């Protein structure tokens, strides 16, 4: 990802500023402030501001006046208890504000998470940059046969080349028309933009509390999530790991690496532990639930 001289100067200026504060700060996140983390071909994620840390979660749970009244070991145990038992309110006391540049089709998925504050770049007031997303050849695949919203086998080299040619041709034509409509007849920007492709990049500021951020990551870091949004989620996950390492550890153990069982599935596990032979017919599970449980237990 290459920054313009103007953008680089703005970034350097922001990072040169320091502020005295009584607020709790996190050294690892201070180091990340304003630095863009590249995502896909032209996108990025960067931290603009944050509030709270692991101790703020503990403080909210205990409703205490001060910080550091307990050991780190005690704080870790409490955070893991909160995560394990889904006591989510203390996690809402931490907030993160990000600046994100992303393709419009990724933004349309992302905005489904309605528990954040968003301010997006307006193509009614500003001219869109001539940037659009082109997948890597290895990320081009056919429609999956068993998943209506997933990918199957990767395209051959020749097929991928044809797809990329068509995607690039259509995007270039759309942006050429966009520029002509603005510069030629002087069409209003709010109308000129309507022919732009979903691969065009947009930007927004996205502010969210930690509880809702972790819910976002649990869905978008999952292997079933679309690759393009997963790239952004993985980048944000690295930020969260630096920001609240104890909460991140608990999240990885109980959410990303854990699993939730239905009452019927749990009963199957208990029966097996007692040495019983359990079949799909007498399990109380559907064929799909049975298959998913088998895959979960076999790893």
**Residues 95 and 143 grouped into a single domain:** no
**Residues 12 and 50 grouped into a single domain:** yes
76, 220, 230, 255: which one is catalytic?
220
**Residues 113 and 152 grouped into a single domain:** no
**Residues 105 and 144 grouped into a single domain:** no
**Residues 58 and 141 grouped into a single domain:** no
Residue reference for tokens 């502020």: 19
**Residues 235 and 129 grouped into a single domain:** yes
b/e map 88-126, b = 16+ CB within 10 Å: eebbbbbbbbbbbbbbbbbbebbeebeebeeeeeebeee
**Residues 44 and 107 grouped into a single domain:** yes
Q: Tens of pLDDT along 34-69?
A: 999 999 999 999 999 999 999 999 999 998 766 655
Rounded to an integer, the average pLDDT of 150-162 is 94
pLDDT at 157 over 80: yes
According to DSSP, the β-strands at 117-120 and 201-209 are antiparallel
**Residues 98 and 117 grouped into a single domain:** yes
Which H helix or E strand runs over 204?
strand 201-209
**Domain end among 172, 197, 222:** 197
Distance set, CA 84 to CA 219, 255, 265, 269 (Å) = 18, 9, 19, 20
pLDDT at 159 over 60: yes
Region of 215 on the Ramachandran plot (φ > 0 left; ψ -120 to 50 alpha; else beta): alpha
277: containing domain: 263-298
**Residues 18 and 70 grouped into a single domain:** yes
Q: Tens of pLDDT along 232-246?
A: 999 999 999 999 999
220 is catalytic: yes
Domain count for the chain: 3
Distance set, CA 226 to CA 24, 44, 151, 229, 266 (Å) = 36, 17, 9, 6, 30
Two structure tokens written together for 115: 């528990």
**Residues 27 and 107 grouped into a single domain:** yes
Which H helix or E strand runs over 215?
helix 210-220
Query: Which pLDDT value is given to residue 186?
Result: 96
**Residues 98 and 178 grouped into a single domain:** no
């Amino acid at each position: 990802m290459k920054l313009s001289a103007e953008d680089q100067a703005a970034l350097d200026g922001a990072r040169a500023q320091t502020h005295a504060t009584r607020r709790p700060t996190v050294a690892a996140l201070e180091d990340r402030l304003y630095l863009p983390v590249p995502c896909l071909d032209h996108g990025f994620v960067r931290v603009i501001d944050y509030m709270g840390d692991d101790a703020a979660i503990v403080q909210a749970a205990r409703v205490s006046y001060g910080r550091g009244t307990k050991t780190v070991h005690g704080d870790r145990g409490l955070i893991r208890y909160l995560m394990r038992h889904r006591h989510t309110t203390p996690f809402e006391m931490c907030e993160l504000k990000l600046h994100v540049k992303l393709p419009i089709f990724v933004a349309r998925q992302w905005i489904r998470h309605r528990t954040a504050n968003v301010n997006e770049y307006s193509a009614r007031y500003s001219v869109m940059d001539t940037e659009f997303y082109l997948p890597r050849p290895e990320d081009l695949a056919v429609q999956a046969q068993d998943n209506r919203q997933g990918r199957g086998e990767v395209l051959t080299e020749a097929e991928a080349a044809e797809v990329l040619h068509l995607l690039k041709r259509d995007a270039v034509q759309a942006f050429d028309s966009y520029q002509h409509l603005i510069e030629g007849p002087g069409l209003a920007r709010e109308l000129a933009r309507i022919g732009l492709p979903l691969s065009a990049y947009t930007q927004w500021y996205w502010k969210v509390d930690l509880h809702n951020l972790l819910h976002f990551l649990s869905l978008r870091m999952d292997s079933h999530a679309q690759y393009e949004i997963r790239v952004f989620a993985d980048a944000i996950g690295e930020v969260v790991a630096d920001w609240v390492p104890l909460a991140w550890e608990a999240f990885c153990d109980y959410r990303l690496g854990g699993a939730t069982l239905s009452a019927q599935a749990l009963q199957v596990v208990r029966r097996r532990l007692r040495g019983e032979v359990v079949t799909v017919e007498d399990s109380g599970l559907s064929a799909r639930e049975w298959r998913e449980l088998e895959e979960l237990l076999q790893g």
